[in-house]
Amino acid sequence: MKYLIITIATMGSFLLSNFEKIENTMSVHDFDVPALDGGQINLKDFKGKKILIVNTASECGYTPQYAQLEELHQEKKDELVVIGFPANNFGGQEPGSDKDIAAFCQKNYGVSFPMASKISVKGKDIAPLFEWLISQENPDFTGDIKWNFEKFLLDEDGQLIHRYRSGVSPLDEEILSEI
């Protein structure tokens, strides 16, 4: 007899223990994450829309992509949800608190898309959502995030469409053609 144990863990994700692989039955909609403003982001609320998840940092060479992410958010908000996930995993480029990050994003880029609370996107303390994201099949690459501003585009059912490295602009035709 096979058993499936589901335990609610930090940030609303699931820990799964089973004799067969069931990650493919999950979707991004199975995750809830703390929001930068102290609330909660329930990803199931975005069923029916595409989602672009981006690990962000305030002191990175790619930080100006916040402006492009905001533009994308404004232009495509009826069909796409952009969500930023600040992380300090690469070069200490996101040292601030949630309050500092929110103030920086608002003052410098007018960010109005949802932002999650600062998390880890790599290593032993990787957030469960990102552990799931990096394990999803992608035509170009899988595995650990290499730097800030990697992007994960998910379909209306919460499944990965494509993953993009940091250097791909949020407004690149490669991304826009998938929305």
Read off the pLDDT of residues 6-28 as tens digits, 9 standing for 90 and up.
444 444 444 444 333 444 579 99
Is residue 60 a contact partner of residue 53, using CB atoms and an 8 Å limit? no
pLDDT for 14: 45
- Tell me the per-residue pLDDT of 21-64, one tens digit each, with 9 for 90 and over: 444 579 999 999 999 999 999 999 999 999 999 999 999 999 99
Catalytic residue (one of 36, 52, 60, 161):
60
Domain 26-176 grouped into CATH 1.20.1440.130:
no
CB within 8 A of 163, min separation 6: which ones?
133, 136, 138, 140, 141, 142, 150, 151, 152, 153
Whole-model pTM: value is 0.86
Any bridge partners for residue 40, and if so which? 34
Residue 144: the pLDDT is 95
> Is 105 part of the annotated catalytic residue set?
no
